[in-house]
Each structure stands twice: as structure tokens, then as C-alpha cells.
């Protein structure tokens, strides 16, 4: 039985916590500021118990905005300690707040606690990723950063070479670019080897990786992205529609009254990076995977726009991949 909701507003160095009694949201609540680190988790729990006089962790729901790195240490620590930790999308909390004037971390933590109390039926328990999966996630993010830096370096170097032909004074700069490019590539390759080693060290992850890569078009990057961002498909409960929505390939219509009847479109509320990775996989599958190629050809024959066809292919691929992982079966070409 939930008796208290604790709103947490994360920032870089600290986080604000406000305790509100469930269903009684007129008061200011009890507020305190803590250092944003895993060492503050037990301090937070003991403070909440002391302020409420309730020793049972089942009486508390901790809620905070999902802010990535800033919310990671405390939210994972609370989950590991057996607390009900709810990480919610910041936009959901902001829109539920309504019109607001002024802003403070203390006020934000109170609003988060009120949001948790009002929407307790929507609460989803945060699960801290395992040590192996967490290491893979951090390495994958580091690889993404290095790839982006290497692409920026190559683009700048290409532009400079195009406008400075015959300028011998820039030869030193170009040699430096080549050395940096080689260093980036070496580090990226090293990270990829370590990720593969970590995946092979876990039987569960290695099985998922083998299933995903059995489909033509899904190789290392897309397979690891699916494993990392879905927490090995546990975060979304093997729900293909939710995963497709998160990837930004699920279409949604707009209908209202007798005048508004818009054709379904994908939403811009999505992870653009993941969508770009899947776009490359879809183009490859449309060329080399007979099942996907036949599906795309049928849509084109019906007069569908090529952009709609590519999006439908991405959606179809995600549904197939989720079904493969759920059933524990590798991809088989349709007869």
C-alpha cells in the first residue's frame, strides 16, 4: 500500500527530494537536497523513513525525470535497494503540470511528487541494468561519440582539400587529420571488440545477438542498439508496437470531429539516432533479404510512396525481430 510519494529533481551535482503524502497534495511537502551520487541513496532512504515514520519500503514510490547520466546513479541505487523507483519522461511531467510561472529545483521536486501521486496507476518500476549490459551500454555510447567525431573530421578535411588544391602549406594539417582519423578508427575497432567479448561472456545476450543478426540487414551496430536500448527486450516487455514507437517508425493518425482526418504519420517524438541506424538496415534488407524485398515490392506495386514503403519496412523488421527474440528462433526465409 503506497502511503508516500517522493519526487526527485536531478541536476549535475545535487538532487532535490520532496516527500508528499499520497492523496494529500495541498501541502508543501518535506524537502531536502542531497549530493548526486550512489553514496546518497542510503542517506535518502533513511531520511524518508525518519520523516514519515514508516520503515516499510513498500509504502514509498520514488519518482524522477529520466535525465540520462544525471539520474543514473541514484535511480539504479534505489532500484537495487528494493525501492519502487519510477523514471518518467520529462515531457509527460511538464505537460501534466499545466501553466506554471517561475521555476526552482525545490518546486520541481514537489511537482514530480504530485505527478506520481496523481498518476500512480501508470507507474512503471525501474530496473537497474546488469553489470554486463551496463558496460555494453556505456561502451556503445562511447563508440557513437567517436564515430560522430570521426565523421566531422572527415567532412572538414574533405572540404579543406577541395578548396585548397596546390597549397603545400596545408600538407601538415592534412597529415594530422590522417593520423587522427586512424586513431579514431583504431579506438572504435577496440571498443567493438570489447563489446563483442562482453556479449559472448553472457549466454542470454549472446543468444539474443545471434538471433538478431540472423536477419540480413541487421549487423553489429543495430543488434547492439536493440539490446542496449530495450535492456535485452525486457524494458518494453516484447511489445513490438512500443518498440516501433520508441524507434519512431510507428504511424499515428489524427481524427477529430468531421473536419480533421489526417493520414497516419510517424511522430517526431522519437530517438532519431536509432531511427537512422534502422533506416540503413532497412535499405540493406530491401536488397539482400528476399522476404523483406517481396514485402517492399508488393507495397510499391500498390502505388505506395517510396518513403512510406521504407518506413513500413522498418516497422515490419522490428515486429519480426521482436517475435524472433520472444520465440527464441533465428530468422527463416518465407517459402
pLDDT, position 166 = 64
> pLDDT tens across 69-88, in order?
899 999 999 999 999 999 99
In Å, what is the CA distance from 77 to each residue of 36, 44, 126, 226, 325?
Answer: 11, 11, 11, 24, 29
> pLDDT tens across 180-192, in order?
999 999 999 999 9
Q: CA 256, 262, 266, 268: dihedral to nearest 10 degrees?
A: -70
What's the pLDDT band for 258 if we cut at 50, 70, 90? confident
Share of the chain above pLDDT 90, in %: 73
Q: What is the mean pLDDT of residues 244-256?
A: 89
Q: Measured between alpha carbons, how far is 248 from 254 in angstroms, rounded to an integer? A: 16
The DSSP string of 177-217 is HHHHHHHHHHHHHHHHHHHHHHHHH-HHHHHHHHHHTTSTT
Q: What is the number of H-type helices and E-type strands within the chain? A: 12, 7
Q: CA 309, 313, 315, 321: dihedral to nearest 10 degrees?
A: 180
Sheet of 14-21: strand order equals 30-35, 14-21, 4-10, 60-65, 84-88
* Number of residues written out for the chain: 335
Q: Measured between alpha carbons, how far is 258 from 22 in angstroms, rounded to an integer? A: 41
Q: What is the mean pLDDT of residues 18-24?
A: 91
> pLDDT tens across 297-306, in order?
999 999 999 9
Least confident interval from 160-169, 182-191, 245-254: 160-169
Indicate if the pLDDT at residue 54 is higher than 80: yes
What's the pLDDT band for 101 if we cut at 50, 70, 90? confident
- Look at residue 315 and give its three-state secondary structure: helix
Cβ atoms 4, 48 nearer than 8 A: yes
Q: What is the mean pLDDT of residues 155-172?
A: 74
Q: Measured between alpha carbons, how far is 139 from 319 in angstroms, rounded to an integer? A: 27
Q: What is the mean pLDDT of residues 21-39?
A: 91
Amino acid at each position: 500500500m503506497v502511503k508516500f510519494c517522493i519526487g526527485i529533481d536531478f541536476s549535475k551535482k545535487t538532487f532535490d527530494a520532496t516527500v508528499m503524502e499520497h492523496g494529500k497534495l495541498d501541502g508543501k511537502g518535506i524537502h531536502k537536497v542531497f549530493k548526486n551520487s550512489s553514496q546518497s541513496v542510503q542517506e535518502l532512504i533513511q531520511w524518508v523513513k525518519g520523516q514519515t515514520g514508516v520503515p516499510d519500503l513498500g509504502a514509498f514510490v520514488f519518482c524522477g525525470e529520466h535525465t540520462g547520466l544525471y539520474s543514473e546513479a541514484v535511480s539504479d541505487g534505489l532500484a537495487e535497494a528494493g525501492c519502487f523507483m519510477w523514471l518518467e519522461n520529462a515531457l509527460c511531467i511538464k505537460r501534466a503540470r499545466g501553466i506554471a510561472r517561475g521555476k526552482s529545483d525545490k518546486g520541481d521536486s514537489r511537482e514530480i511528487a504530485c505527478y506520481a501521486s496523481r498518476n500512480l496507476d501508470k507507474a512503471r518500476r525501474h530496473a537497474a541494468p546488469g553489470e554486463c549490459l551496463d558496460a555494453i551500454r556505456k561502451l556503445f555510447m562511447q563508440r557513437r561519440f567517436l564515430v560522430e567525431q570521426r565523421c566531422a573530421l572527415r567532412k572538414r578535411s574533405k572540404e579543406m582539400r577541395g578548396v585548397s588544391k596546390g597549397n603545400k602549406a596545408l600538407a601538415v594539417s592534412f597529415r594530422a587529420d590522417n593520423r587522427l582519423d586512424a586513431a579514431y578508427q583504431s579506438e572504435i575497432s577496440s571498443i567493438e571488440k570489447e563489446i563483442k567479448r562482453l556479449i559472448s561472456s553472457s549466454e542470454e545476450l549472446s543468444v539474443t545477438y545471434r538471433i538478431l543478426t540472423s536477419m540480413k540487414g541487421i549487423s553489429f551496430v543495430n543488434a547492439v542498439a536493440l539490446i542496449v536500448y530495450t535492456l535485452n527486450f525486457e524494458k518494453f516487455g516484447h511489445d513490438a508496437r512500443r518498440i516501433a514507437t520508441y524507434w519512431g517508425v510507428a504511424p499515428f493518425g489524427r481524427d477529430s470531429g468531421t473536419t480533421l482526418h489526417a493520414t497516419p504519420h510517424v511522430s517526431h517524438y522519437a530517438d532519431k539516432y536509432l531511427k537512422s541506424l534502422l533506416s540503413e538496415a532497412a535499405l540493406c534488407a530491401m536488397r539482400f533479404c528476399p522476404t523483406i524485398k517481396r514485402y517492399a515490392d508488393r507495397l510499391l506495386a500498390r502505388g505506395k510512396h517510396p518513403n512510406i514503403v521504407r518506413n513500413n519496412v522498418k516497422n515490419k523488421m522490428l515486429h519480426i525481430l521482436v517475435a524472433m527474440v520472444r520465440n527464441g528462433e533465428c530468422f527463416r526465409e518465407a517459402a
